[in-house]
Amino acid sequence: MTYRELYFELKKKENKYLNNTAIKTLLQDDGGFNDFFNLISHFDEEVKNLDKINKNIERIMNGEPLQYVLGYAFFVNSNYVVDENVLIPRQETEELAVATLKTIIKMFGKEPKIKIVDIGTGSGILGIYLKEYFPNSHVICTDISENSLKIAKINAKNHNVEIDFRQGDMLEPIKNENDISVVISNPPYIGDSSSVEPQTLKYEPHLALFAEPKTKYYEIIMTLIDSAIMSNKFLIAFEIGEDMKEELTRILEEKYMGIMYKFEKDIYGKDRYLYIIRDEGITYVA
C-alpha cells in the first residue's frame, strides 16, 4: 500500500482523535519525512511499516494521545521523548520558555554563567531548552517522580546537554544551594478535575496536573523570594492557570511587598505567565 492510498483510506476513518493532523503525522513518522510537503513528494512510495501504523491508529482512535503513541512530542524547535509519566508539552509552555530566554539575556547577557533551576521538570523540556542556549550555565532539573527523571535524562542525552538532575519534592533538592539566578516552573495548578479534558484526565499523570489549593506549589516556590539561596539579582518564571492572576497578586502583595512582578498573556489573550524579578536594571519582561 502506498502513502497516498493509506492517507485517503485513513481520512475515511477520521474521528475526534484520529484527525487530519494525526494522520499526516503518523505517515510522516513512518517514512521519516520532515513535513507534509515532503510526504506528498513520496506519496506513491510503499508504506514502510503498515502493521505498526495500523496498531498506532487503533490506539489513537481509542483516545490515547498521539504524542504517547509516537513516543515523542515537538517543543519549540525539536522533538522530546514523552510517555505516560510526563505531561505532553503545550504551546503555552513553549511561550514561557522563549520569553524566559529573552528575559535572561536582558538581565544576564547572551553568555551568562549562572545557576538555573527547573522545578518539576517532567520531561526536562524547560531546563534542556535553556541549557542549549546558555551552555555555560549550571542547570538543575528537579522532580519528585523518578520515572519522570528517567525520561528527562533521555532527553538531555538526545540533546547533548549536561544537566544536574535531582529527585525530590519541590525545594528539597536545592535546599543546600546558593547563588541561584533563575527559577522556572510549570507546577501543577488544576484544582477541579471537571475542567480537564477527558483524554488528559485518562492518560496524563495526575501528579503533574492537580494541586489543592491551586496556588499551593506557587506559594512554596515563592518562598525563594526571601531565601538566602537566591542571588542578589534573580528571575522566577511561572506558567499559571488562566484564572489565577487575582489570587497570585494577593499573595505577592501580602507576603512580598515591593518585589517586582508582571503577568503576561498568551497568544490567546489569557493571563498565563508570572515573572518575578529582583533587578534594578530591568523594568519589563519579554
Phi-psi category of 75—alpha, beta or left, where left has phi over 0 and alpha has psi -120 to 50? Answer: beta
Would you say residue 192 has pLDDT above 90? Answer: no
What is the mean pLDDT of the segment spanning 183-188?
96
What is the mean pLDDT of the segment spanning 63-92?
95
Q: With bands split at pLDDT 50, 70 and 90, how would you rate the model's confidence at 282?
A: low
The residues with which 190 forms a beta bridge, in sequence order, are 210
pLDDT in tens, 78-106: 999 999 999 999 999 999 999 999 999 99
Q: How crowded is the C-beta side of 34, counted as CA atoms within 13 Å?
A: 4
Cell numbers linked to 110: 547572551
What's the pLDDT score for residue 77?
A: 85
Would you say residue 49 has pLDDT above 70? Answer: yes
Q: Computed over its alpha carbons, how large is the radius of gyration of the chain?
A: 21
pLDDT in tens, 122-144: 999 999 999 999 999 999 999 99
Would you say residue 256 has pLDDT above 60? Answer: yes
* The total number of residues written for the chain in this structure: 286
The four Cα atoms 37, 159, 96, 35 give a dihedral, to 10 degrees, of: 0
Burial of 198 (C-beta count, 10 Å sphere; 0-12/13-18/19+)? exposed
What's the pLDDT score for residue 196?
A: 83
| pTM, two decimal places | 0.92
What domains are defined for the chain? 3-63 (no CATH), 91-278 (3.40.50.150)
Looking at the chain, the whole-number percentage of residues with pLDDT higher than 70 is: 98
What's the pLDDT score for residue 283?
A: 54
